[in-house]
Structure 1
Amino acid sequence: MIRSVVRGSGSALPKRLVTNADLAGRVDTSDEWIVERTGIRQRYIADDDETTSSLAIEAGRKAIEAAGMEPASIDLIVLATATPDQTFPATATRVQDALGCNGGTAFDVAAVCSGFLYALGVADSMLRTGMAKRALVIGAETFSRILDWEDRTTCVLFGDGAGAMVLEAADVAEDGPGILVTRLHADGEHNQLLYVDGGPSTTQTVGKLRMKGREVFRHAVVNLAEVLNEVLGEAGLTPADIDWVVPHQANARILDATAKKLGLPAEKVIKTVESHANTSAASVPLAFDVAVRDGRIKPGDLVVLEAMGGGFTWGASLVRL
């Protein structure tokens, strides 16, 4: 059968590290307050010369190098972001040109924190149906550009970064590697729980992020547990069969509550939220790359990627490495 097989991964972070103590000098907060409620201790914030595309290019280059491929052989780039360089053209086209992947297909996907799962699902579909042979899937964000730095309940939660995966269509055995199942969902009823209060067709401004954290937390735990069970059920597996869960790194309490609801041991959950904060669409591939490079995630492992974001959107993907 034809599956999309993960051939390599990469990630990138801005140069500037910002600790909770640094933020405490800017807004009415403290390291203790942030850690207790979120588990976050630091994040990386882009300088003026660092953009969503520059982070995506670096992560993409590392992923292509890890895959041992020539950039020109990549014929599909899907970039998930809620913070593009421009309203148009797609930031993916900037990445395509910079990496030397010209001639194929390149476009952006907007599903906020679930963006990478959506991008992965789209790329997987295109690879399995023969529309492309090799795909670079990226999640990249500069969320610091849309934060209200006077709102201590939101500005402490986010950071900037990028993560990427290279996928290749390959003919594999049923028990072979590749993306096994992906399930995506959305429910626009909850738009006003997590959103940006601006946009080209409404305010003609970029706007700032707004969130009702308590309500988002409640929906996140339920939705993430359900979609994880959904992909496992589709594959005929149980949580005990999983080697690793790579979740969206929104909040340590959400990660712990979701794992508990599924009966998953904490040691099976990849966590980078302490070091990176919430990097939106970048968080899943960024955490995945960290765990691959430090040796935790290995060839043959069964991994679940999952995320939920504004919209609401949410999804999960079951992958055998």
Structure 2
Amino acid sequence: MTNAATSASRSRITAIGTYVPERKLTNDDLAKMVDTSDEWIVPRTGIRERRISEDEEYTSHLCIKAVQNLLDRYNTTVGDVDLLLVCTSTPDFTFPGTACLVQAHFGITQTTSMDLSAACAGFVYGLHLADGMVSSGLHRKVLIIGAETLSKITDYTDRTTCILFGDGAGAVLVERDDSAAQQPSFLAYTGGTDGSGGVHLYKTFTASSLNGIRLHDSEKLVQNGREVYKFAVQTVPKGVAELTEMAGIEASDVDWFIPHSANLRIIESVCEKTGIPLERTLHTIERYGNTSAATIPLALDQGIREGRIKEGDTVLLFGFGSGFVYGGLLLNWRTLA
């Protein structure tokens, strides 16, 4: 476990953009593919539909469209980005990295580019790294993208997993802000890993066993939903308590809670355990399903577009997923550029 009060932070989020594919896959559509129904899916997950990429539409394409959305909405540029992070579990290629494809598209001439693999915690990990890099003075402008095309690794004959996953992308800029010395935007971070849980959520590549346990040799995602649920409802409330304690606040002081949108039942359980009302929780589970590293930026952008997240709000982000890994970040929200 790593905990950090980020009083030395000198950065803030200055712009955001998102994108989801146009094609919708509803619960009724899935009922034509596997033995399921809207009446079975909604009570168990809260999901009604998800977005699915086209056959020749890959993670890099979603990243590019999310960044373009950011550029269309804000008076900024990515030409001077000096660190580019793509947080994804579904890269276009093993190599080159998806971040390199984004760099090439936008013609960013002088940037360090890399992919970050931390599953559904990826976007929070990316923000934490960006804050550290910018606050230390090593970089001044970081582009972080959380993006997935999970539909390409979903087994649509397995009704326990195919109902959950969708595709999407979200991008933010994190930039140097010296005024943060008096009023930091990044307040606290917590994160950790339990690698013994890797057998419960994985996609095989070259290895066929993990921690001495033989894996299903499949090109598709494999998940033990019961174990993922158990990990989330035990880990996230503890992490929320750690963050609020570090920041010297109570859970009731959190204006907006944005957990990873894995399953509405998980979110409801976490809210009950933390005391954060569901009404102050932002998620995209109903319309987009589980988009892994994209769920948090999609929900964050939804809160901004709807005018719910305002200047000075305390915003708590929390991601968790395969590894098992988790990461939580507490922000003092500042108006975007």
State whether TM-score is above 0.5.
yes
1:264 is the counterpart of 2:276: yes
1:147 is the counterpart of 2:189: no
1:311 is the counterpart of 2:311: no
SS in 2 for 1:141: strand
Identify which of 44, 59, 71 aligns with 1:37. 44
1:6 is the counterpart of 2:18: no
Aligned partner letter, 2:313: D
Q: For each residue in 1:22-50, what CA deviation from the matched residue of structure 2 results, as whole angstroms up to 9, or x when unmatched?
A: 01001110001000100000000111121
Query: Matched residues in 1 for 2:13 and 2:181: separation?
Result: 16
Query: Matched residues in 2 for 1:237 and 1:100: separation?
Result: 43
Whether the 8 Å CA contact 2:9–2:131 is kept in 1: the answer is: no
Q: CA deviation at 1:312?
A: 0.3
Identity, % of aligned pairs?
44
Q: For each residue in 1:42-63, what CA deviation from the matched residue of structure 2 results, as whole angstroms up to 9, or x when unmatched?
A: 0001111211001011112222
What are the residue-to-residue correspondences of 1:1-321 with 2, within 5 Å?
Answer: 2-173=9-180, 176-196=183-203, 198-200=204-206, 207-321=219-333
Aligned partner letter, 1:292: I
Give aligned pairs, total. Answer: 319
List gaps (5 residues or longer) in structure 2. 1-7, 210-216
Q: 1:53 to 1:173 in 2, by over 3 A?
A: closer
Aligned partner letter, 1:199: F
> TM-score w.r.t. structure 1 length?
0.95
SS in 2 for 1:307: strand
SS in 2 for 1:297: coil
Query: Matched residues in 1 for 2:74 and 2:314: separation?
Result: 19
Bigger mean CA offset, 68-77 vs 135-144 = 68-77
Q: CA deviation at 1:100?
A: 2.7
Query: Matched residues in 2 for 1:286 and 1:42: separation?
Result: 15
Whether the 8 Å CA contact 1:200–1:206 is kept in 2: the answer is: no
Q: For each residue in 1:130-166, what CA deviation from the matched residue of structure 2 results, as whole angstroms up to 9, or x when unmatched?
A: 1110111110000011111110000110000001111
Query: Matched residues in 2 for 1:303 and 1:3: separation?
Result: 17
Q: 1:117 to 1:34 in 2, by over 3 A?
A: same
List gaps (5 residues or longer) in structure 1. none
Query: Matched residues in 2 for 1:232 and 1:92: separation?
Result: 33
Q: For each residue in 1:227-263, what CA deviation from the matched residue of structure 2 results, as whole angstroms up to 9, or x when unmatched?
A: 1111111111111111101110000010011011011
Whether the 8 Å CA contact 2:283–2:295 is kept in 1: the answer is: no
RMSD, matched Cα: 1.6
Query: Matched residues in 2 for 1:167 and 1:190: separation?
Result: 32
Aligned partner letter, 1:25: K
Q: For each residue in 1:72-116, what CA deviation from the matched residue of structure 2 results, as whole angstroms up to 9, or x when unmatched?
A: 121111110000000011101111121232311111100111111
Q: CA deviation at 1:200?
A: 3.9
Whether the 8 Å CA contact 1:64–1:166 is kept in 2: the answer is: no
Query: Matched residues in 2 for 1:156 and 1:2: separation?
Result: 40
Whether the 8 Å CA contact 2:11–2:180 is kept in 1: the answer is: no
Query: Matched residues in 1 for 2:53 and 2:298: separation?
Result: 16
